[in-house]
Structure 1
Amino acid sequence: MSSAMATPPSASEAPPARAGGRAWLSLAVLVLPVVLISVDMTVLGFAVPHLSADLSPTGTQLLWIVDIYSFMLAGLLVTMGTLGDRIGRRRLLLLGSFGFGLASLMAAYATTPEMLIAARALLGMAGATLMPATLSLLRNIFTDRRQRVIAIAAWSSGFSAGAALGPILGGWLLEHFWWGSVFLINLPVMAATLVLGRLLLPESRDPNPGRYDLPSVALSMATLLPVVYGVKKLAEGGPVLLALAAIFLGLTVGLLFVRRQLRLDNPMIDVRLFALRRFSTAVVTNLILTFALVAALFALTQYLQLVLGLNPMRAGLVLLPGMVLTVAASFVAAPLARRVPMGTLLASGLGMATLGFAVMTQLSPDGGAPLVMAGFAVLGIGVGFTDTVTNDAILSEAPPHRAGAASAISETAYELGAALGIAVLGSVLTAVYRIQLDTVPDVPDTAMAEARETLGGASLAAENLPDELAHQLLSASHAAFTSGLHVTSLLGVVIVAGAAVQAGVLLRRRRDRANRASGRGTADRAVPHTPLT
């Protein structure tokens, strides 16, 4: 692609240095922020019914409380990744950890929906410094290919481990304390990261970063936010022309952003990397799977608690097998990645995830906990397989000095998928819920209006009604929510199955061999490794 990515023959023949004990201790430090962010996202889903009862947010405010974090994170990840390349990735990680702790305090003691939304936005800004810093430091610490695959499996499993820990820890906190306590658990993890990071992590940066392009920063943000705003307005039933205009504006700015990156000598995002099929397929797969997975978690946590009536601890235990299997699948994928073609692994993992979503289309308002456990377990296996393979492919395509930018692209896909998953499928769930929730006879209009806002609002409205009317309202709202869950699960089937097809087609071994034979395998020359495909 460029002269910076080419490796002299003498360098490619020399085996990379193997990491020692200090490097593996550093890996443990790098996994801490990953676990924290995963815990934070999972715990918030379980806290939604509790904060809904306390702060009484509208349906739109509730969606913003959940997804503003991911929007800010996705919008700033590339900016922070390139900033870390310049000022130092360890320094960026430590600064972000300090900011994340302060924002967590603000979120824990929020007194209004608007204050909580602002705190979540600050958490997203601080979180944007953590993810690209951890992955790019990992890329520079573990230069040996085989060790790096294992390290990436551990790093990827941090998401699943945090998601598994979140329901248990969060369930205990929500049963003994107020909902704000779920944010206070961030503080000891951030303190440990600050102390151990200074002691163990090496500093690394791009030796020739070039000029920091502020217009690219503005264009990247101006691409994301209008698109998200337009999608949300369409889902809310807002003015169609305004929503479409916002989406069109964001896409237009996105085109300007791409054109600017192609002209710059030192772009914020090296968009030419997307011409490499392994890289682009891995990024798109990350985005699509996360899009569906996070939306499923958002819906299932409410289904288990508000429809089936499980307390947070028991709801977490229902999802725990799926989280544990995700961790296990991540480590199983590491040795398989050296023997099985990348396209085959991705298609298999995504096929398992598709099956998991198919199981969730069979849930009922009366007793679907066993189906949730089974479906989410199958989904977890698929996620574990794909995460390790895709993150390894993304890092293997980039030279070490561009590790921050490549890591940021990977994490942008993950966080943008999470944000859009909640915004799009979460909004679809809300829209179907409102359409399906018919007027219940004799229930006052004010109670019905409150019930149509959110499922939590229906539970609160039922508390002020006679027993018979309360039962009718809850039965209707539970059926409506389950219908919305069926629709989003079916969309998950279609989306993830489509990702499986594109991975299998684009990464066929025959085409990869043709690319290597014709000399177009730029990434294979960039970093010596045993081939995944």
Structure 2
Amino acid sequence: MSPVASVLLLAGVGLGAAFIRRQRRTPAPLIDLALFRAKRFRLALVVKSTAVFVLLGFTLYFAQYLQLVLGLGPAAAGVWTLPSSAAFVVGSTIVVHPLRRLAPGPALAITMSATALALLLVLGASPADGLGVIVAASVLLGLSVAPTVTIVTELIVASAPPEDTGAASGISETAAELGGALGLAVLGSIGAAVFRHRIVEIVPAALGQSGDTLGGALAAVAGPPGADAMIAGARAAFVNGMNIAMAFGAAVAVAAGLLAWRISPRADLEQAEAPSGPSSEEPSGREGGGGRDARAPRDGDPQVPADGLSREKCAHGIDDRRRLDPARRGDGSAGPHLGG
């Protein structure tokens, strides 16, 4: 890692820590950190981040494989991405409905398992002929990731109190953006590291830094003798790096599916908000404000004055407020004169 990247990373961690500290202390936080106390809220965020993590990581390799490995033009490559786009529409509008009949945990475990299977299908794509395999993987990925994102988004918003649904929705979108950025960075770095390790054996050292990427390597070896063999070797190195990255992504998806299985059918936030004391529908024996006995009086019990009046008048059911207020008496008399 370069010194600049290290400084930026440390600065980001410091700013994040300062932000969290500020949110804990301010009376009106931008993000209510109490939302993260709900187990279902946390797990749903992790699953959503993981789904977008593997999706964008796959997309990074999908486009390069179609154009740089199979040699398709931009228009042809774009056409072969249409099935995955249609799969996303079907997954979010049709596939999600039968999954809603299941509990959230099992439903998400199924979709994340299908996501892992889609990434493992990529391992069957060869440098020479793998168009059908990788397109099928993209379709299965769309059919699994789309309902995953739909279900977890509903879980995230439903796990928050009504007054915090806006903040929960914003946190959900931020988690998706973070997962996508990490997918590009982590899975892309894995594939790039494997590619660079393999390419040094294929591309001569005189080609310099042009062999750091597949596009640079293909451009560099186009002229020298034996270019066809080096091009085939560069493409094989890229596919090898892609396979390792997809295998890592499949392992992450399986781990997220295991975590999703722990999501309870009912929100623990609602359980936490349930009253721990006696039910409000049952008499508690005490009034909240004055702490007086709220049960019906029994014969022989001393009559306690309700507002400081005499015991005799309370015992006979006479309210001095009616005596002092003509409107409450109902007879139009003015009552005793209190003023001077």
TM-score interval w.r.t. the shorter chain?
Answer: 0.7 to 0.9
Identical residues among aligned pairs (%): 35
In 2, distance between residues paired with 1:439 and 1:339?
54
Tell me the alpha carbon deviations over residues 87-128 of structure 1, each in whole angstroms, 9 at most, x when there is no partner. xxxxxxxxxxxxxxxxxxxxxxxxxxxxxxxxxxxxxxxxxx
Alignment correspondent of 2:231: 474
One-letter amino acid matched to 2:241:
G
Tell me the alpha carbon deviations over residues 278-330 of structure 1, each in whole angstroms, 9 at most, x when there is no partner. 22222111111111110110011101110111122322333322221221111
In 1, distance between residues paired with 2:175 and 2:131?
31
How much does 1:264 deviate?
Answer: 1.6
Are the counterparts in 1 of residues 84 and 142 from structure 2 also a CA contact under 8 Å? yes
Q: 1:368 to 1:277 in 2, by over 3 A?
A: same
1:296 aligns with 2:53: no
Alignment correspondent of 1:530: none
How much does 1:460 deviate?
Answer: 1.4
Are the counterparts in 1 of residues 40 and 264 from structure 2 also a CA contact under 8 Å? no
1:462 paired residue among 215, 221, 230: 221
Alignment correspondent of 1:501: 258
Tell me the alpha carbon deviations over residues 3-47 of structure 1, each in whole angstroms, 9 at most, x when there is no partner. xxxxxxxxxxxxxxxxxxxxxxxxxxxxxxxxxxxxxxxxxxxxx
Are the counterparts in 1 of residues 47 and 256 from structure 2 also a CA contact under 8 Å? yes
> Paired residues, what number?
275
Are the counterparts in 2 of residues 434 and 453 from structure 1 also a CA contact under 8 Å? yes
One-letter amino acid matched to 2:175:
A
Alignment correspondent of 2:152: 390
What 5-or-longer segments of structure 1 have no aligned partner?
Answer: 1-232, 522-533
Alignment correspondent of 2:80: 318
2:18 paired residue among 234, 252, 256: 256
One-letter amino acid matched to 1:456:
G
Q: 1:498 to 1:472 in 2, by over 3 A?
A: same
Alignment correspondent of 1:329: 91
1:491 aligns with 2:248: yes
How much does 1:519 deviate?
Answer: 4.6
One-letter amino acid matched to 1:489:
M
SS of 1:361's equivalent?
Answer: helix
Task: Map 1:229-240; keep pairs closer than 5 Å.
Answer: 233=1, 238=2
One-letter amino acid matched to 1:309:
G
Alignment correspondent of 1:287: 49
Alignment correspondent of 2:294: none
In 2, distance between residues paired with 1:515 and 1:300?
40
Q: TM-score, normalised by structure 2?
A: 0.73
1:267 aligns with 2:267: no
How much does 1:449 deviate?
Answer: 3.2
Are the counterparts in 1 of residues 54 and 249 from structure 2 also a CA contact under 8 Å? yes
Are the counterparts in 1 of residues 159 and 267 from structure 2 also a CA contact under 8 Å? no
How much does 1:454 deviate?
Answer: 1.2
Alignment correspondent of 2:135: 373
1:345 paired residue among 107, 113, 119: 107
Are the counterparts in 1 of residues 40 and 268 from structure 2 also a CA contact under 8 Å? no
What 5-or-longer segments of structure 2 have no aligned partner?
Answer: 276-340
In 2, distance between residues paired with 1:260 and 1:337?
40
One-letter amino acid matched to 1:298:
L
Are the counterparts in 1 of residues 109 and 260 from structure 2 also a CA contact under 8 Å? yes
Question: Which protein has the larger Cα radius of gyration, Structure 1 or Structure 2?
Answer: 2
How much does 1:463 deviate?
Answer: 2.9
1:453 paired residue among 212, 217, 225: 212
How much does 1:338 deviate?
Answer: 4.8
Alignment correspondent of 2:196: 434
Q: TM-score, normalised by structure 1?
A: 0.48
| Aligned-pair Cα RMSD in Å | 2.6
Alignment correspondent of 1:309: 71
Q: 1:317 to 1:403 in 2, by over 3 A?
A: same
